Chains A and B, each alone.
Chain A
Amino acid sequence: MASIRHERRIAADADTVWSVVRRPESIPEWFPGIVSCTVEGNHRVITTAIGLDIPEEILSNDDATRHFAYRITAPQYSFHLGVIDVIDIAPNDSLCVYSTTALPDTLALLIAGGTLGALDEIQRLAESSRVAS
């Protein structure tokens, strides 16, 4: 099992950052390479730029703690847990942490590689405040 954490200090209020990621259906807006998704209840299917459909289960989406957790349910994954936490540091200053834990290890690396680009976009969107909350 491999666990990889990426984090980003963002010059925006935590609520603003959280508004970028809190809606499950918004993921194509901030995760590069995810071109579309469908959401039904707590099930989400993302479609990537190379046409992969990846099913996910949303485990937690907590506005109070700004915590989003999900798992990929595709059979290639023996285990997956993705967690996004947005932590309030000060006005106009927050920390976004995107963690990936998976088995096989290689898949953790592949997903975590994508989350780096996602953090770039989350930062860009939050700092430009172009996201409707």
Chain B
Amino acid sequence: MSRKILFITTDQQRYDTLGANGGTLSRTPVLDRLASEGIRYERCQPTSVVCMPSRSSMLTGQFPSTHGAWMNGVPLAIDAPSVAETLHDAGYATALIGKAHFEPFMDPFGLYAENALANLGIPTIEQDWFDGRRGVHRGFDYLEFATHGVMGPLHYAKWMRDEHPEAIRGFYQVVDQDFNVNAAGGGDSGAPQVKYNSVPREWYHTDWVADRTIRWLEEQPTDQDWFCWMSFPDPHHPWDPPKSEVGRIPWRDVPLPENYPESASERESLLDQKARHWRAWYDGRLVSNYEAPAKWVPATMTADQVREVNALNAVEVELIDEAIGRVLACIDDKGWGDDVDVVFTSDHGELQGDFGLLFKGPYHVDALMRLPLIWRPARSTATVPSVVHAPVSLVSLAATFLEIASEPSPYWVEGASLPIDDDDAKTRSFDATFTEWDSSIFGVDVHVRSVVTDDYLYTEYQPGTVHDGSEGELYDLVDDPLQRVNRFNDPGMTGVRAELSERLSVHENRPGDRATPGALMAPV
């Protein structure tokens, strides 16, 4: 019997939302305990700051420029490598319950398995594998899907429509009549994507994901090795948690984020230091990506709206923490308490008011790029708790899962397994991480590459619709942890900039096979 793996992801959750990471808004005792017992990573970066490329990196252990799902709406190739396949081959029972999003949600022709399985009523489906075999969908022999609402064909939405149709109207309508991300305001402050949801807590998707995970775990034989990816759709917008829970964190008492200047002139001054698309979006002159409401202008956001969004986000984080607690209790009840590795992270962050912005896009700063990451190795390993300060990447997750399972890392994995402490990080040269952004939608092309080291966050904007290839950002993470002072054009930083640019060049030209970039099939 090997170590079992519970892989927990959330969607769009910032580093600073956990108590273990210094967050004060949400109470997260379950995750804080996992952090205290295991390894807490101080600087974990995604490979992309949007869902599909980032999640595909978790599954494949590859950067988006390798796996080919380069932006939201580009499906991961059906025969892309998958760590779940390798674990399945090794005898693991494999499940993904919650949000997958390797394939587009918007799928009017029903082309993708993620959107088809709920109607088919089967736990998985056979597809081509990268090595020429056929097998269960992306290596998972059990799949049950949810996303941010109750529309569409996924299991949770279908369950809600079948079992609790009266509660459907309580949810925020995620897209508007033009099929864009909805800008309509709600709550007390009129913030976009906010609604007080009348759905009972036990029917909300957070508890549903935990319930379905518990059900799957309970069905596993005690001696069965398993890999379970439990994937919560929250705290991604819409911020529409059950109304019964919003009183936990009264929004009027919520302090403004440290990186939200109340003065419009100060916000604008900060944005003007960055590449030009920042201010253009803030002013409503440019919508560079689908993931934020097309009809919403960030400059119109009020301080109260920032407070309310942060409060509701924090409520959703607390509900997730409590749901994880229930799943861990189930694991203990099954007698697996000493044999399960728990890995917790998120696919990317959320601007959440920083610089006067909300949602996400081609904005490579900590709000979107610094993620919570906790690895609580199985207690049977007697791993010494630690905090890793070196930069690490979600691209390392696949190799980490394989190491846990005592499986060799296959040739297609680009990331090394996560370090267990700073000495290990130093020995294995964990000194830089890379984040990519490519988008091309409705005539707007944006291409961004960033590298994060112990000391710096450096970004280059490649030529596109709004960038001419000369712009960039360079932040000193030690002196300027909020990334307010762009030193890209500082003559005193010429050497640093050259070194970091060379690192990006090496990343771009790294050896290895690359998948043909996929076609854009949908906006998300």
* Residues A117 and B522 in contact in the complex (CB < 8 Å), given A104-B179, A106-B178, A106-B180: no
Stretch from A15-23, A37-45, A47-55, A84-92 forming part of the interface with B: A47-55
Find A49's partner among B116, B290, B521 (CB 8 Å cutoff). B116
* Residues A48 and B110 in contact in the complex (CB < 8 Å), given A2-B442, A106-B179, A109-B73: yes
List residues of B (85-124) whose CB comes within 8 Å of A's CBs.
104, 106-111, 115-116, 119
Interface 1/0s, chain B 503-524, versus A by CB < 8 A? 0000000000000000111110
Considering residues A2, A31, A113, which has the most beta carbons from chain B within 10 angstroms of its beta carbon? A113
Q: In the bound complex, how far is the Cα of B175 from the Cα of A104, in angstroms?
A: 12
Asked if A24 is an interface residue, CB under 8 A from chain B, the answer is: no
In the bound complex, residues from chain A placing their C-beta under 8 Å from that of B111 are 32-33, 49, 114, 117
Asked if A116 is an interface residue, CB under 8 A from chain B, the answer is: yes
Find B441's partner among A51, A107, A109, A111 (CB 8 Å cutoff). A109
In the bound complex, residues from chain B placing their C-beta under 8 Å from that of A109 are 73, 441-442, 520-523
Instruction: Name which residue of chain A comes closest to B179, CB basis.
Output: A106
Interface 1/0s, chain B 148-187, versus A by CB < 8 A? 0000010000000000000000000000011110000000
Interface 1/0s, chain B 264-308, versus A by CB < 8 A? 000000000000000000000000001000000000000000000
In the bound complex, residues from chain A placing their C-beta under 8 Å from that of B115 are 50
Let me know if A110 and B442 touch, CB within 8 A. Answer: no
Least CB distance from A39 to B in Å reads 19
Asked if A105 is an interface residue, CB under 8 A from chain B, the answer is: yes
List residues of A (3-24) whose CB comes within 8 Å of B's CBs.
none
Asked if A122 is an interface residue, CB under 8 A from chain B, the answer is: no
A interface residue count range (under 10 / 10 to 19 / 20 to 34 / 35 or more): 20 to 34
Let me know if B442 and A50 touch, CB within 8 A. Answer: no
Let me know if A50 and B179 touch, CB within 8 A. Answer: no
* Residues A49 and B109 in contact in the complex (CB < 8 Å), given A2-B442, A109-B73: yes
Instruction: Name which residue of chain A comes closest to B119, CB basis.
Output: A50
Find A48's partner among B109, B521, B522 (CB 8 Å cutoff). B109
Least CB distance from B256 to A in Å reads 34
In the bound complex, residues from chain A placing their C-beta under 8 Å from that of B110 are 33, 48-50
Asked if A126 is an interface residue, CB under 8 A from chain B, the answer is: no
In the bound complex, residues from chain B placing their C-beta under 8 Å from that of A52 are 108
Least CB distance from A103 to B in Å reads 8
Find A50's partner among B104, B109, B521, B522 (CB 8 Å cutoff). B109
Find B106's partner among A31, A32, A105, A110 (CB 8 Å cutoff). A110
Task: Write the residues of chain B forming the contact surface with A, with a CB cutoff of 8 angstroms.
Answer: 73, 104, 106-111, 115-116, 119, 153, 177-180, 290, 441-442, 519-523
Task: Write the residues of chain A forming the contact surface with B, with a CB cutoff of 8 angstroms.
Answer: 2, 31-34, 48-52, 54, 76, 104-107, 109-111, 113-114, 116-117
List of 4 A-B pairs having minimum Cβ-Cβ separation, nearest first? A33-B109, A49-B110, A113-B521, A106-B179
